[in-house]
Amino acid sequence: MRQSPRASLRPLGSSPGRRAPLFAGLLAAGLFLTGCTPEGGAGGETGTGTEGTTSGGGQEATGGTAGAGAATPGQVPEGLEEYYTQDLQWQGCQQDQGGFECATASAPLDYADPDGESIELALVRSAGAGEDAPHLLVNPGGPGVSGVDMVVEGLDYAVSADVREHYTVVGFDPRGVSRSAPVTCLTDEEMDEAREGHVDPSTDEGLAQLRESAREFAEACEEHTGEVLGHVDTESSARDMDLLRAVLGDDRLNFLGFSYGTDLGATYAGLFPQNVGRMVLDGAMDPSLPESEVTLAQAASYEEALVSWAEYCLAGSDCPLSGTPEDAVAQVQRLLEQVEQSPMTASDGRQVPASTFVSGMILALNANESWPVLTTAVQDALNGDPDLMLHLADLSAGRNEDGTYDSNVTAAITAVKCLDAPAPADTPVLREQAAELDEASPTLGRFLAYSGLYCAVWPEAPVSEPAPASAPGAAPIVVIGTTGDTATPYEWASVLADQLESAVLVTWEGQGHTAYGRAGDCIEGAVDAYLVDGTVPEDGLTCP
């Protein structure tokens, strides 16, 4: 195994004026809508399981000592023996919190060339479940969100106490993300500059400007990331997950995936159905949809969430809006029009264009727990103060108060999506898609338009196309959908459950993105009984 050299990060030479529209374009591409870290109070046989049955063909969730290389010879893909039998060297994390231990695992850069260069995948594991406890691999979504951060910073919210006592919970940064051969494009200063810019691609001049910014961004990513840029696709990450299963010492993969993590899980099940253990996919994606239809469905869901937030706001005593919910939404639309015409200035001197403003709104719309914050942010903005909305946008972009970015989510999500599916970007096609988005979401649609543009100029060709999931022979898989989900509409969960031969569908009649950890005892009880005891929920279970 030869270690791939880390690409150096050097200041880019492009002019500020040409870099400025970048973030507007990335927002327009709808490239950050599926990341999720759960919040809330709690922190075998083929075929569909039924209530009272046990997952994994009647077997307990498998455990073992990390580094044991417990995979059978038939489970090790040819040429990968060295990777599948490596020993993990666990040690205290740099910023040790709660007794977590960290390690890295080597993986081939290109699974088609296992004798070529390698990359390192960052891992973290929880303590307290015991040395022989089975492992539960978790992924918060994105693509581009750190699983290491999810475990270290939010384990109590990610899984319940019962799950933490039963499993050693393992978070990992997928390839291209954060600590695992990260996709690198802009410096912190350039990212700030990009987020302060805005362009109107509805005009021919604006669209040409956005195309040029997209090309510059793609060139920067290629320059600073190197060969890794062509190998951060979802299938490669799913293959990494099987490698991790083996080096953790488990015969089967137990997995909890949220949002885009459901795409990872479904892809894994399709590649390795015989290795599926207990798998929960919450906030499911439909892998058969082209990216344009993904963005269209998300736009409609966010518009519905905006109306629901307006109803909530008007029912309170401190709502800055008035009239009917439709009137309130119209007032928000006028506010956005004003910000488009004249970007606001935050107290730290940064400009807040409409694209950045909308990214803050979208983050708050993802969970009704955040609606009071959105109410205050809108009220402040109406009074000329954009600071709180900018803070929400900073959270979405991974920006710290000191101006540094501890997340590469914008770069990573672009790279993954551009490899996972083609994105036609002819001007007539883009204009037609923009019109559809505007109709589906009169408030937010225009900010999510032109989704194919960045991938059309991406330096790496897509390696796959949208297709239905299929995992014949896999143990029962639990798919969870939320009726009021913003980023992953409920219909996607229903479709994914139909696509996966052994899946059962669990529904939460709630609002916001994902359910487990937010939805109360019904969802938590069903998931915990499955993960801990192997009791598969009844297909069609609905939780109020």
Q: Which of 166, 198, 224, 513 is catalytic?
A: 513
Q: Which two three-digit tokens encode residue 113?
A: 């060339």
* Nearest partner of 460 among 408, 423, 407, 409, judged by Cα: 423
Q: Which of 146, 485, 502, 528 is catalytic?
A: 485
Rounded to whole angstroms, how far apart are CA atoms 522 and 536?
A: 14
Supply the angle between the helices 387-397 and 188-195 in degrees, to the nearest 10: 130
Residue 513 annotated among the catalytic residues of the structure: yes
Rounded to whole angstroms, how far apart are CA atoms 507 and 217?
A: 40
Rounded to whole angstroms, how far apart are CA atoms 504 and 48?
A: 6
Residue 259 annotated among the catalytic residues of the structure: yes
Instruction: Decide if 76 contacts 86 (C-beta within 8 A).
Output: no
List Cα–Cα distances, 266 to 172, 193, 263, in angstroms: 17, 37, 5
Q: Where are the alpha helices (DSSP H) in 323-386?
A: 325-341, 354-365, 371-382
Residue 198 annotated among the catalytic residues of the structure: no
Instruction: Decide if 38 contacts 514 (C-beta within 8 A).
Output: yes
Regarding beta strands 351-352 and 344-345, do their DSSP bridges make them parallel or antiparallel, or are they unpaired? antiparallel
Instruction: Decide if 44 contacts 56 (C-beta within 8 A).
Output: yes
Instruction: Decide if 398 contacts 413 (C-beta within 8 A).
Output: no
Rounded to whole angstroms, how far apart are CA atoms 341 and 345?
A: 13
Q: Which of 259, 301, 308, 502 is catalytic?
A: 259
Which residue carries 């195994």 as its tokens? 1
Active site residues: 259, 485, 513
